[in-house]
Amino acid sequence: MILYLDTSSLVKLYVKEAHTSLVKKWIEEAEIVATCRIAYPETMSAISRRFRKGDISKEDYDLLVTKFSNEWGRFVAIDFDELEAGRLVNLYGLKGFDAVHLSAANLLRSNQDNISLSFSSFDEKLNESASTEGFTILFPE
């Protein structure tokens, strides 16, 4: 199975949040973990935001940034189609980067034959849109 993570899921690997252990379990079960290339700056931003809010110490911030940077290469970083993302914004009323993630997942699926691809996000509207696009959604029950 290929597991596609949007940034809300990817961040859970680095910052302890609700459902962190579940996302880690899904990753262990996946053969390949993919995300859009925009997830790198988005995740860095999320980690930085948690530091600025005082949720994590400077030492933990430095460790998380280093860990994420070192592990980025283990994810398959997918490009996206900006025209497709724009279409998805208009079709589903998605935020820009959510549409970019869905576009990337669609691009990944279109380049593979007979793949089992599951989609993970903690954004309800994005999950509904991905489900309508035909993806299997991994979400806590």
pTM above 0.85, yes or no: yes
* Domain boundaries along the sequence of the chain: 2-138
pLDDT, tens digit, 9 for 90 and up, residues 36-70: 999 999 999 999 999 999 999 999 999 999 999 99
Instruction: Determine the residue type at 100.
Output: V
pLDDT, tens digit, 9 for 90 and up, residues 67-98: 999 999 999 999 999 999 999 999 999 999 99
Where are any strands of DSSP class E within the chain? 2-5, 32-36, 76-78, 117-120, 136-138
3.40.50.10320, 3.90.79.10, 3.40.50.1010, 3.40.50.1110: CATH of 2-138: 3.40.50.1010
31 class by beta-carbon count within 10 Å (0-12 exposed, 13-18 middle, 19+ buried): exposed
